[in-house]
Amino acid sequence: MLHERGELLYGDAAADIAEFLRYSWPFDFARFDPVDVNGQPRLIVWVNVEAGALAVSRKDDPADVLHFVAGCERRWRSRGSRRMICSCGSDLHEVTAGHQVDATGRDVWIVTGTRCPECGLLASPVDWNVESGS
């Protein structure tokens, strides 16, 4: 369930990320894929808005071990990448990728959503057109 505090939205559970993306994005999604690394859903999030890419890692992974969300590895640029930190100070997030598809079922747009497990703050840090980019 989404909760509004000021102009921000918060959720009680990882499942609220999909509801948040449906609420904040003007187009329909075909599916939502929760992201985990080896069963671990609370992850460090790395964002590159300019490249349109998002990567995650486990807290105990070395800094150079990244897992790319929804096939965005070819878009990734180390320069300009930032580690996502919640305003409450937490560096762990739950992540979901929303998929918009064309008539043939191919992904055309990926929209990412996150939830801070400490305070519940929801965000959509980056989205990208699957066909664009390098």
The SS3 call for residue 70 is: helix
Q: pLDDT tens digit string along 69-101?
A: 999 999 999 889 999 999 999 999 999 999 999
In angstroms, rounded to a whole number, what is the distance separating the alpha carbons of residues 46 and 61? 13
Q: What percent of the chain has pLDDT over 90?
A: 90
Strand partners, 83: 46
- Residue 113 near residue 18 (C-beta atoms within 8 A): yes
Q: pLDDT tens digit string along 56-75?
A: 999 999 988 999 999 999 99
The pTM of the full predicted model, rounded to 2 decimals, is 0.94
Q: What percent of the chain has pLDDT over 70?
A: 99
Asked whether residue 134 carries a pLDDT value surpassing 70, the answer given is no
- Residue 44 near residue 65 (C-beta atoms within 8 A): no
In the Cβ-directed half-sphere of 81, how many Cα atoms lie within 13 Å? Answer: 19
In angstroms, rounded to a whole number, what is the distance separating the alpha carbons of residues 129 and 111? 9
For 80, other C-beta atoms within 10 Å of its C-beta total 11
